[in-house]
Amino acid sequence: MSDQPHVLIVGAGAIGSFYGAILKRAGCRVSVVLRSDYDAVKGHGFRFESVLGELSWMPDHIYRDDDVPQETPDYVLLCVKVLPGVDRAALVRPWLGDETVIVLIENGLDIERELAVAFPTHALISCLAFIAVSRIGPGQIHHQAYGQLVMGNFPTGFDAHCQQLAGRLRDGGIEVNETEAVVGERWRKCVWNAPFNPLSVLADGADTLTILNAPGGEALVRAMMQEVMAVAKADGYPLPAELVDKNIAGTRAMGAYKNSMALDYLHGRPIELDAILGNAVAIAERLAVPVPHLNTVLTALRIRQQ
């Protein structure tokens, strides 16, 4: 791998263009594959308003979906929404060389398997993003807060590719927490996402405090968190009992917040219901763990989606 790694981002929306900006300022060559934002980014690059200061940047290469790559990337970052009917393996396949490392920065549970099965000889890195960032116009991004990543190889480990990528992200100013058990970290994050993201949609785009302060709201969130923790434990990833209290206190301290699913719903975009809640319920069914609250919320949203 070269001293100046080449990173290609498939799905350079809010998350992809943000971490692309960080890697660019850390000295990587960073290219993107774009659809709707192609003309805007070709014209003026990505424009950022960020709490980290000036992050606007111009990619080294800007491709459309069906272009032929001009150089083989060391890392392909996949940052599309995880939605039914989106063949994520097909999205990355044309851009991979034999040695290219696949990196996922996406929400959800059990979302790595599809890529691991399609590309068994490629190193696969899975990342969880703790950040508030959104695309506010073509090639225009608003980064409101945070930015840290949790990173590890799927299914386990933290290899030299992780070391190199984490080093570059840290050079660019981002905190990266290393994990040898990224699946357990996905469960930990899901304890927060599985109640708050779907409930915000059922509540018509509500923020976190509206959910918690509604009569019975906090009790429902707690019940859903407990159920996710029970499934995680049955799956081999026990989480500390105090995580629920910690999540509630942390969410209250953060103030009113609209998560990524609330924003998708409010903008009329598809929501990642299966990746975040459907997969948790599917694993619960497989492991015979009762999850009545998760099931009810999932079903209510599926009815709504129809």
Ligand X SMILES: CC(C)(CO)C(=O)C(=O)O
Assign 7 to helix, strand or coil: strand
Question: In the set 259, 273, 277, 280, which binds ligand X (CB under 6 A)?
Answer: 259
Residues that bind ligand NDP (CB under 6 A): 10-16, 33-36, 65, 79-82, 91, 105-107, 129, 131-135, 260, 272
Compute φ and ψ for 280, nearest 5 degrees.
-65, -45
Question: In the set 17, 193, 200, 279, which binds ligand X (CB under 6 A)?
Answer: 193
Q: Give 228's contacts (C-beta < 8 A, 6+ positions apart).
A: 187, 190, 191, 194, 195, 280, 291, 294
CB nearer to ligand NDP: give 81 or 188: 81
Q: In the 8-state DSSP scheme, what is residue 67?
A: P
Rounded distance, CA 59 to CA 17, Å? 9
Which one of ligand NDP, ligand X, none is in contact with 197 (Cβ closer than 5 to 8 A by kind)? Answer: ligand X
Q: For residues 228 and 190, is the Cβ–Cβ distance under 8 A?
A: yes
Q: Which residue is nearest to ligand NDP (CB)?
A: 13
CB nearer to ligand NDP: give 10 or 230: 10
Beta pairing class for 124-137 and 140-153:
antiparallel
Which one of ligand NDP, ligand X, none is in contact with 134 (Cβ closer than 5 to 8 A by kind)? Answer: ligand NDP
Which one of ligand NDP, ligand X, none is in contact with 133 (Cβ closer than 5 to 8 A by kind)? Answer: ligand NDP
Question: In the set 31, 153, 197, 247, which binds ligand X (CB under 6 A)?
Answer: 197
Compute φ and ψ for 7, nearest 5 degrees.
-110, 135
E strand or H helix at 251: helix 243-254
Q: Say whether residue 134 binds ligand X (CB under 6 A).
A: no
Take residue 33 and report the two structure tokens written for it: 């594959």
Q: How far is the CB of 193 from ligand X (least distance, A)?
A: 5
Q: In the 8-state DSSP scheme, what is residue 274?
A: I
Which one of ligand NDP, ligand X, none is in contact with 59 (Cβ closer than 5 to 8 A by kind)? Answer: none
Cα Rg of the chain, angstroms: 19
159: left (phi over 0), alpha (psi -120 to 50) or beta: beta
CB nearer to ligand X: give 27 or 270: 270
Q: How far is the CB of 110 from ligand X (least distance, A)?
A: 16
| Among candidate residues 26, 25, 32, 42, the one with its CA nearest the CA of residue 7 | 32
Which one of ligand X, ligand NDP, none is in contact with 80 (Cβ closer than 5 to 8 A by kind)? Answer: ligand NDP
CB nearer to ligand NDP: give 136 or 249: 136
Summarize as ranges the residues that interact with ligand X (CB under 6 A). Answer: 107, 129-132, 193, 197, 259-261
